[in-house]
Structure 1
Amino acid sequence: MNLSPLALLVLELLAEREMHPYEMRQLLARRGRDRRIRVTPGSLYRSVERLAEDGLAEVVETSREGRRPERTVYAITGAGREAFAYRLREMLAKPVDEFPQYPVALVCMHALGKQDALDQLARRRVELEAEIARSQTTGPREVFMVDLDYSQAIRRAELSWTTQLIEDLTSGRLGWPERAAQ
């Protein structure tokens, strides 16, 4: 089963203890997991429901307190634990093509014209430098925050690569098509 990143995070939480989706959303935000994927109430509830439909999670309790909406508490199943571990191992071990926006912008930048593209790349370089400076971590590190280290490494690599691209375009080492916008 190909679990989505959100489904994986839900199963991670349910592996800790039984909980309802509202509590899951709060915990994901408190732990900063929402900086990795977009978590909306609708997407979270759909993901939990799909996990239940697929037999990876199950309803353990439904209750209502006063006028509050009904609250459904879920637990992970044995199949859910197996699917979680399998998908997690797969995601850690196998590189996949992801589709970030920057490469798409790079293949289209010639449509702006060389100087405009250089101006935008310079702005990106400044933004990357600021993000790197803001994200410097101090103090003891824990495995729960290793994604921040990864983000820092990716940002530093992107900054280095973008700086080199600017230099290559400015010096002429990288050609600019004559028919492209000037």
Structure 2
Amino acid sequence: MSTTRILILGTLLDGPLNGYQVRRLLETWGADSWANVKFGSIYHGLGKMAEEGLMEVVETGKGGSTVYALTDDGRFEFYRLLMSTWHELKPIVDPFQVAVTYLDRLDRHQLVGALQARIEQLRLGVATSERALGVKQRFGAPRHIDENLRLNLGTLRAQLDWCEQALTKVENDELP
């Protein structure tokens, strides 16, 4: 199941949109940072879902600005995907966990440097996300979109806490 698929279908719930409007809406929500949306895939997704009967073309404008509307099948598919996402716990694939698996392959100096660099990136990510809270509403995003930021903040803070503890362990020769 693709999160991009759910997002595209969901943006069309309130009425027809063209690909550019779908993209702008998702950008306003900040979906590129919490949903791993590749904005180029939106146009492909719209066309594919139209072929599948999940949406229909309601207008073809100048320059290929095609406007899509959900079909009844598209609405059903959106709610089916949405509810399965709420009820299924899926692993979060984080490449950093792969790096942690091989932390013993780095010498102490490399590992300390890598942890310090990651800690700085995480602190910056936390600060940036904290500043972004509430800002998206000024650009039309619904209030609940901030919950994605809060969830992301929790993830960043948990990883920051782990990295700080791991750095202390490395410095005290308790790791690896």
Q: TM bucket by the smaller chain?
A: 0.7 to 0.9
Q: 1:93 Cα shift? A: 2.3
Relative distance call for 1:57 and 1:139 in structure 2 (3 A) is closer
Gaps of 5+ in 1: 177-182
Residue equivalent to 1:171:
172
- Pick aligned residue for 1:75 from 54, 69, 85: 69
- TM-score using structure 2 length: 0.85
The answer to whether residue 84 in structure 2 is matched with residue 90 in structure 1 is yes
Relative distance call for 1:40 and 1:134 in structure 2 (3 A) is closer
Q: 1:152 Cα shift? A: 0.6
Residue equivalent to 2:117:
123
Residue type at the aligned position of 2:31 = R
Residues in 2 aligned to 1:139 and 1:46: alpha-carbon distance in whole angstroms: 31
Residue equivalent to 1:54:
52
Residue equivalent to 2:145:
144
Over the matched positions of the two proteins, sequence identity in percent amounts to: 27
Gaps of 5+ in 2: 138-142
Per-residue CA distance 1:6-35 (angstroms, 9 max, x = gap): 111111111111011112112211222222
Residues in 2 aligned to 1:40 and 1:85: alpha-carbon distance in whole angstroms: 22
- TM-score using structure 1 length: 0.83
Bigger Rg over Cα: 1
Residue equivalent to 1:155:
156
Compute the RMSD of aligned alpha carbons: 2.0
Contact in 1 for aligned 2:31/2:37 (Cα 8 Å): no
Higher helix fraction (1 or 2): 2
Residues in 1 aligned to 2:145 and 2:159: alpha-carbon distance in whole angstroms: 24
Contact in 1 for aligned 2:116/2:167 (Cα 8 Å): yes
Q: 1:154 Cα shift? A: 0.6
Residue type at the aligned position of 2:107 = G
Contact in 2 for aligned 1:25/1:39 (Cα 8 Å): no
